[in-house]
Structure 1
Amino acid sequence: MTTSTTSEPSAAAPLLDLQVLVAAVRRRRRLWCSMALLGLLVGTALAVLLPPSPTAVTKVLVAHQADQPNDPGTLIRTDVALLHTTRIAGKALQSLDSPEKPEDFMQEYSGIGLTNNLLQINATGDSDTQAVARAKALAEAFVADHVRRIQEAANAQAKSLLEQRDRMRDELAQVNKSIGDASAQSEPQASANMESLFARRAELTSRISDFSQRAAEARVGAPQLIAGTQIVDAPHAVQHSLPKTAATNAAIGLVLGLVLGLAVAAVGAVVADRPVLRREIAANLGASVIAELPRQSPRLWQRRRVQAARTRLTASLAHTVRDSAEPVSLLELGCARSASAIALDLARALAVDGPAVIIDGLPGQQLANHRPKPGDPTVVDSERAATVSPQGYRLGVGSVAPGTAWTDLQHLGTQTVLVVRAGHGSAAWLHTVARQLADQRIPVIGVVLIDPDPRDRTDGTLWDGLHTALRSRNALLARQNGTGLRRMERLPMRAARIPDSDQEAR
């Protein structure tokens, strides 16, 4: 038994590979760019089609009896809450002679505490005039309600103090009466009682004077608070700038759309689990990446480099086919057009040494139905593959997409080159392709990656794939010699281990 010396991927792979996630999100840039553009357009359209309602603003200076320099803003928040009451809204509607309900009117204005004593009132309306009138009515109603509450509090406090003063006066009258009754007595005990009565009379007189003074101060402080509560900024309409509003809404929509698009792309990449990097594709297929080609037509400044890469790939594959004693096939996954182009280039290169025939096993027979150009090789469908002459080169082109008849791949070639588009197949399907090809005894020469990530710097070469190469090579030699493996010759294999999960066990 041959045991792999490399560490297990499941033990070394992180739960979430940031590099893979970034590559997958960058690959879906059309999605998040489209959503960002959509957010930009929606924000601009909202600013144009739904302009803000006419708004008026006013500011009120509010004086509180319990004002403190270190007040955290509790009093002004209380004033804002009182502004949103049906009593204030009803008083404002009465001054406006409006039949609107206070509950509905409360939805059309708001209050903001700018400082501990400064309240800003914003009101909307059908026009600037109506908005200004509403703001003025609300400010006057709030000031009147605040003044009324201050007066009621001062009157209640003064009334309580005066009631206590009157009770003290009644008690003082009783003490004076007791002193008058005790003065007619000449006993020694009456003298001691007189001293306590005089002391009590002095205490009551002092407390009566104190309550009278406090009641006067309560009445005097109320006018100061009433005078301090006033409208300091007259109601006026707020001017809205359409370009500024459109730019603000567009920026907000752009940011929200971009964030939402990135989130959707990231979640979709994690859920789909479609390998994009060379390292992941090579590990899942069990074969090294030998070349990379763009999916679409290259840009003008990239054509020379892409053409050079395609020429090198054609030359390398032609050398492999010439040195191989058995036919070679090209199996595509998500890039039938690119595989067809590679097959035609390879067949033209092989036609220099002898006749070359392409067996088209692609869905829809794209190669067999195309219009041949002068000098193109012969293309036959898979049904007529048995009629092809064994002389010359035979190149099969097929697919390993879902729904593939795996047993028919042997007729296309006994060894293959996989042409895979990055990000097309899931990791589970790439594992399925590798397992099915191994079961069919079709060794994979290498992987041609179509539409790779331009910023991919990972290594697509497998350095621990010796067991796979030896198995395929032994199987190939056995077929060439016409004999099977001897009973004592065991194929190299990995050491068995316990699976980490049910999915891995399957």
Structure 2
Amino acid sequence: MMTSTTAESSPTPPLLDLHALVVAVRRRRRLWCSLAVLGFLAGAAFAVLMPPAPSATTKLLVAHAEDQPNDTGTLIRTDVEVLGTTRIADRALKALKSSEKPEDFLKEYAGRGLTNNVLQIDVTGETDAQAVARAKALADAFVADHVQRMRETAKAEAKALLDQRDRMQKELAEVNDEIGGRSPDTDPANSASIESLFARRAELNSRIADFNQRAEEARVGTPRLIAGTQIVDDPRAVAHSLPKAAATNAAIGLVLGLVLGLALSAVGVVVADRPVLRREIATNLGASVIAELPHGSGRLWQRKRTRSARERLTTTLARTVRGSAEPLSLLELGSARATSVIALNLAGALAADGPLVVVDGLPGTELAKARAQAGGPNVITGAQAASLTPQDRRIGVGSVAPGTAWTDLQYLGSQTVLVVRAGHASAAWLHTVARQLADQHIPVLGVVLIDPDPRDRTDGTLWDGLHTALRGQSERLARQQNKTVQRRAERVPMWAARVPDSDQEAR
């Protein structure tokens, strides 16, 4: 009976896997921790090597004729801009008897409005005394300029009001003359016009009095505003604390370095696209993860666990080699040292079964050092592997890094176990490795993951590759045994198969 299966469409992967991004950034903690420490040291060094210049500060109370309770700070901002003009700088430099250019002096001080009427001036200098003198000169120059402007404004306003008053007085004199030249008794018809002239005279008198009052208020208000504009905080040198400045700059550098490191790590992870999770590595290579080992010897409190994991892996690989007639190879990707250790441990476990040859196909000298050790395994180079016969027991060790001679991998072994370091290769290269091994008809029994993320909880097992996976080794051995028994049955001679019939006829 024929059965048909319908392939289920796999879900579309997200454009950005936040879990993988967080794991990859955490694995790059050396980068962003180093940048954070570098920023911390740079901030502290900046405070020590480049201390701030001596500075002084002073505060002014600035009175305005247009002061209103609901002012949003427009007037004090205007005062700040006036302070930053070459006129104020030039007056201050003249008071200091300095030959410095006003344009250059503008870069050495700044104003800041604290409230609607309080202006703060910050000045730098070569010494504290010079900074204090500059602050005093700037404050005096600004107060003098402000007072002069207020006086000129009040003078111009009073003059305009008095001019208006004089014009009204001339008109009033004309009205009085016109009233004096008419008599309502002699000409009753002009009584209405005379009344209008009297009304006009009363209006002119009122306006003249108003202009007099406003001009007087303008003259009286100026001294009040002048007295209100003064220095309320005498110029003083600003004390700088080196430890405080170093701590502040170091903290700022630490934060900036940390942020920069995290940003670079995140961008690098997205651009490089190097899988870290066991699920992604298994999917890209098309093989399940069979073991995980730390990079190097592991931490001190994890060495016992690492040693147990290495022993279990050696036992599993030794059982695989003993149960299969095909040679096994270990192919590394970013973990040549770990692969050499695994190969030597496997060779030591299989040494009791008979002579064993380790074929060194690594680009480095990891296995070449073991060749000269007494009692070590028989290690030969990849060029000498062609002289081996199919009956020679061997373990091949090679690399699938960029630049690999793919056609030479079949001489290392007809089946392989990949030893891959997490986050070392890109997803595209993992696809390339899987495709090249498939083209060479070299099945991948499993993946040994080096330096895995300890918080990775993803599943690294592929459930659709049992025909090549290491966990299907028993089923393959059973099928091979069945085929062997079947071949032996087919090889039984014809006369041996007919013996029972002859015995029956003889009886």
CA separation in 2, counterparts of 1:166 and 1:393? 126
Count of paired positions: 478
| Contact 2:330 2:419 (C-alpha < 8 Å) held by counterparts | yes
Alignment of 1:275-314 (within 5 A): 275-314=275-314
| Contact 2:331 2:417 (C-alpha < 8 Å) held by counterparts | yes
Q: Deviation per CA, 1:65-104, whole angstroms, max 9, x where unpaired?
A: 1212222111111111111001111111111111111110
CA separation in 2, counterparts of 1:218 and 1:365? 97
CA separation in 1, counterparts of 2:439 and 2:305? 38
Question: Letter of the aligned partner of 1:53 in structure 2?
Answer: A
Alignment of 1:2-41 (within 5 A): 5-8=7-10, 11=12, 13-41=13-41
| Alpha-carbon offset, residue 343 of structure 1 | 0.7
- For the structure 1 residues 30 and 57, does the alpha-carbon distance in structure 2 shift closer, same or farther, using more than 3 Å as the test? same
Residue of structure 1 equivalent to 2:144: 144
Residue of structure 2 equivalent to 1:430: 430
Alignment of 1:189-208 (within 5 A): 189-208=189-208
Question: Letter of the aligned partner of 2:269 in structure 1?
Answer: A
| Alpha-carbon offset, residue 462 of structure 1 | 1.5
Residue of structure 1 equivalent to 2:411: 411
Residue of structure 2 equivalent to 1:350: 350
Secondary structure in 1 matching 2:296: coil
Residue of structure 2 equivalent to 1:114: 114
Residue of structure 2 equivalent to 1:263: 263
CA separation in 2, counterparts of 1:116 and 1:299? 63
Alignment of 1:415-494 (within 5 A): 415-465=415-465
| Contact 1:441 1:475 (C-alpha < 8 Å) held by counterparts | no
Alignment of 1:216-227 (within 5 A): 216-227=216-227
| Contact 2:58 2:121 (C-alpha < 8 Å) held by counterparts | yes
| Contact 1:4 1:464 (C-alpha < 8 Å) held by counterparts | no
| Contact 1:60 1:233 (C-alpha < 8 Å) held by counterparts | yes
| Alpha-carbon offset, residue 364 of structure 1 | 4.1
CA separation in 2, counterparts of 1:98 and 1:284? 75
Residue of structure 2 equivalent to 1:379: 379
Residue of structure 1 equivalent to 2:53: 53
Residue of structure 1 equivalent to 2:334: 334
Q: Deviation per CA, 1:184-232, whole angstroms, max 9, x where unpaired?
A: 8822322221111111111111111111111111111111111111001
Secondary structure in 1 matching 2:353: coil
Instruction: Report the aligned-residue RMSD.
Output: 2.4
Residue of structure 2 equivalent to 1:319: 319
Alignment of 1:32-111 (within 5 A): 32-111=32-111
Secondary structure in 2 matching 1:182: coil
Q: What stretches of structure 2 of length at least 5 have no aligned partner?
A: 485-507
Secondary structure in 2 matching 1:460: coil
CA separation in 2, counterparts of 1:3 and 1:251? 62
- For the structure 1 residues 466 and 308, does the alpha-carbon distance in structure 2 shift closer, same or farther, using more than 3 Å as the test? closer
| Alpha-carbon offset, residue 435 of structure 1 | 0.7
More divergent stretch after superposition (389-398 vs 228-237): 389-398
More divergent stretch after superposition (180-189 vs 98-107): 180-189
TM superposition outliers: structure 1 runs of 4+ over 6 Å: 467-470, 472-478
CA separation in 2, counterparts of 1:33 and 1:3? 52
- For the structure 1 residues 3 and 394, does the alpha-carbon distance in structure 2 shift closer, same or farther, using more than 3 Å as the test? farther
Secondary structure in 2 matching 1:183: coil
| Alpha-carbon offset, residue 388 of structure 1 | 2.5
CA separation in 1, counterparts of 2:6 and 2:221? 92
Question: Letter of the aligned partner of 1:8 in structure 2?
Answer: S
| Alpha-carbon offset, residue 6 of structure 1 | 4.8
| Alpha-carbon offset, residue 358 of structure 1 | 1.0
| Contact 2:329 2:412 (C-alpha < 8 Å) held by counterparts | yes
| Contact 1:350 1:393 (C-alpha < 8 Å) held by counterparts | no
| Alpha-carbon offset, residue 156 of structure 1 | 1.3
| Alpha-carbon offset, residue 376 of structure 1 | 2.4
Secondary structure in 2 matching 1:436: helix
| Contact 1:289 1:446 (C-alpha < 8 Å) held by counterparts | yes
Residue of structure 2 equivalent to 1:247: 247
2:174 is the alignment partner of 1:174: yes
Residue of structure 2 equivalent to 1:211: 211
